[in-house]
C-alpha cells in the first residue's frame, strides 16, 4: 500500500493513494460527446469547420479555445476575443481570457458570454482496484480523498476545496499569504516574513530592528519650533492684511497658514506626543491585512461556510496566524 508524504506543517497524512492507471475528460455538447486523454491529448473548440468541436454561435471565435491533457491533468487554453466562463459543479464561475485554466471534477464551459453555448465537462478516473470509471474531484489523482480540504497552486490559479465545494482563485499575494498560514496552523508569522514568503525575498534580513520600533519623529524639536514661529508670523501678517482690506494677500496667507498648521498636526499626536514615520513593519501590516481580508471576503461570497471559518480562525496584525478551533480541527493539504 502506498502512503502519501507527510503534509506540510508537521501533520502526517495516512491517506491511501489510489493507483491511477487512466484518466480522461469527457465533453458533451448538443447530444454529442468528445473525449480527451493520453491517446487524444487535445480537442479544439471554435466556429471554424476544422475544429474538433464546431460551435456555430456569433459569440464564439473561429478558434475559441482548446483543452489539452498532460501529466494527468486537463487545462483549458482560451484564445478567443470574448473569453470563456468556466463553472464548477459547486457553482463557482471564473472568467478566462487569453490564459490557461485547469479543469477538475464536473462543470461546464460557456463560450463568449453568460448566454453563450455551454459545453459540459467531467473528469473521470479508473484505477487498478477493478472498479469502472468514476467521477474525479480535484486531488483524487494525487492522493487527496473526497471531502479533504485543499489549497493548491496550479500555474496562475489556486484550487480551493472545502467541504466538497471547489473554488478557483487567481494567483495573488493575498492568496499566497493565506496559503502560508493554512499550511502552518498555530504558527505565528511576522508580517515581514509573511510578505517575504509571497515574493521569495529574505524577510528576516529585512527586519533589521524596525519590527519593534520607529525610525524617529516626523519633525524634530527644532523643526517644530520653526514651524510654530512661522505660524505666529503668518497670523500677524494676516491680521495686518485684513486691517488694510488686502483680500488677495489675506487669501495667500490663509492658504499658507493651513499648510503649516497641517504639517504640525501631522507631526504631533494626542497630548503633544511626536508622531513617528511609519516603519516598514507597519506598512507591511496594513498591506498584508488588507490583502488577506480581501481574499477571505471573496471566498465568503462563494462559500459562506468557508468564509466564516477563515474569519474566525485567521488572525492578522503585526503577527499573523491561522488558529482553527481545537474542538473542530481543520487540516489542509497543498
For residue 187, the enclosing domain spans: 174-209+283-333
Can you give the CATH number for the domain in which 26 is found?
Answer: 2.60.200.20
What one-character DSSP code corresponds to residue 285? H
Question: Using CA atoms, how far apart are residues 280 and 207, in angstroms rounded to an integer?
Answer: 8
Both 183 and 226 in one domain: the answer is no
Q: Is residue 157 part of a domain?
A: no
Q: What is the largest CA-CA distance in the chain?
A: 102
Burial degree of 320 (CB within 10 A; 0-12, 13-18, 19+): buried
Q: Is residue 127 part of a domain?
A: yes
Q: Is residue 98 part of a domain?
A: yes
Q: Is residue 14 part of a domain?
A: no
Both 48 and 119 in one domain: the answer is yes
- Are 3 and 14 in contact, with CB atoms under 8 Å apart? yes
Q: What is the mean pLDDT of each run of 10 residues along the chain (334 residues)?
A: 39 41 89 93 96 92 94 88 82 80 88 88 78 64 53 84 81 92 86 78 46 57 82 91 88 86 68 61 87 92 87 91 80 76
Q: What is the pLDDT of residue 216?
A: 60
| Count of C-beta atoms within a 10 Å radius of residue 68 | 17
Both 194 and 49 in one domain: the answer is no
Both 229 and 298 in one domain: the answer is no
Both 32 and 133 in one domain: the answer is yes
Q: What is the pLDDT of residue 145?
A: 42
Percent of the chain past pLDDT 90, that is, above it, reads 29
Q: What is the pLDDT of residue 200?
A: 60
Both 203 and 225 in one domain: the answer is no
Both 84 and 26 in one domain: the answer is yes
Q: Is residue 81 part of a domain?
A: yes
Both 196 and 327 in one domain: the answer is yes
Q: Is residue 7 part of a domain?
A: no
Q: Is residue 215 part of a domain?
A: no
- When divided into structural domains, the chain yields a total of 3
Give the alpha-carbon dihedral of 45, 50, 56, 59, to 10 degrees.
50
Q: What is the pLDDT of residue 9?
A: 37
Both 204 and 323 in one domain: the answer is yes
Task: Return the closest-CA partner of residue 33 out of 21, 25, 22.
Answer: 25
**Which residues face 26 on adjacent strands?**
35, 122
Both 87 and 120 in one domain: the answer is yes
Both 78 and 113 in one domain: the answer is yes
What one-character DSSP code corresponds to residue 159? E
Q: What is the pLDDT of residue 3?
A: 40
Q: Is residue 214 part of a domain?
A: no
Both 79 and 38 in one domain: the answer is yes
Q: What is the pLDDT of residue 199?
A: 67
Amino acid at each position: 500500500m502506498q502512503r502519501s508524504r507527510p503534509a506540510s506543517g508537521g501533520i502526517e497524512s495516512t491517506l491511501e493513494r489510489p493507483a491511477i492507471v487512466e484518466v480522461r475528460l469527457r465533453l458533451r455538447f448538443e447530444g454529442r460527446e468528445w473525449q480527451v486523454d493520453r491517446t487524444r491529448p487535445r480537442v479544439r473548440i471554435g466556429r471554424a469547420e476544422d475544429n474538433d468541436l464546431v460551435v456555430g454561435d456569433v459569440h464564439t471565435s473561429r478558434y475559441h479555445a482548446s483543452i489539452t491533457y498532460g501529466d494527468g491533468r486537463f487545462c483549458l487554453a482560451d484564445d478567443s476575443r470574448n473569453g470563456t466562463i468556466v463553472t464548477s459543479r459547486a457553482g463557482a464561475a471564473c472568467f478566462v481570457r487569453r490564459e490557461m485554466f485547469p479543469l477538475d471534477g464536473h462543470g461546464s464551459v460557456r463560450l463568449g458570454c453568460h448566454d453563450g453555448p455551454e459545453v459540459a465537462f467531467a473528469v473521470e478516473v479508473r484505477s487498478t482496484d477493478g472498479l469502472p470509471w468514476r467521477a474525479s474531484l480535484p486531488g483524487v489523482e494525487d492522493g487527496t480523498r473526497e471531502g479533504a480540504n485543499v489549497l493548491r497552486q496550479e500555474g496562475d490559479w489556486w484550487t480551493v476545496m472545502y467541504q466538497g465545494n471547489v473554488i478557483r482563485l487567481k494567483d495573488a499575494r493575498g492568496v499566497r499569504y493565506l496559503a502560508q498560514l493554512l499550511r502552518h496552523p498555530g504558527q505565528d508569522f511576522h508580517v515581514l516574513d509573511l510578505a517575504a514568503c509571497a515574493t521569495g525575498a529574505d524577510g528576516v534580513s529585512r527586519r533589521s530592528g524596525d519590527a519593534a520600533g520607529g525610525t524617529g519623529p516626523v519633525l524634530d524639536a527644532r523643526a517644530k519650533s520653526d514651524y510654530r514661529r512661522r505660524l505666529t508670523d503668518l497670523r500677524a501678517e494676516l491680521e495686518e492684511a485684513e486691517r488694510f482690506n488686502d483680500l488677495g494677500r489675506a487669501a495667500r496667507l490663509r492658504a499658507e497658514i493651513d499648510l503649516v498648521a497641517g504639517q504640525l498636526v501631522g507631526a504631533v499626536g494626542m497630548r503633544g506626543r511626536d508622531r513617528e514615520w511609519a516603519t516598514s513593519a507597519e506598512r507591511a501590516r496594513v498591506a498584508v491585512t488588507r490583502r488577506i481580508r480581501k481574499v477571505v471576503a471573496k471566498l465568503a461570497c462563494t462559500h459562506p461556510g468557508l468564509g466564516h471559518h477563515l474569519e474566525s480562525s485567521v488572525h492578522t496584525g503585526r503577527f499573523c496566524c491561522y488558529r482553527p478551533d481545537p474542538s473542530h480541527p481543520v487540516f489542509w493539504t497543498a
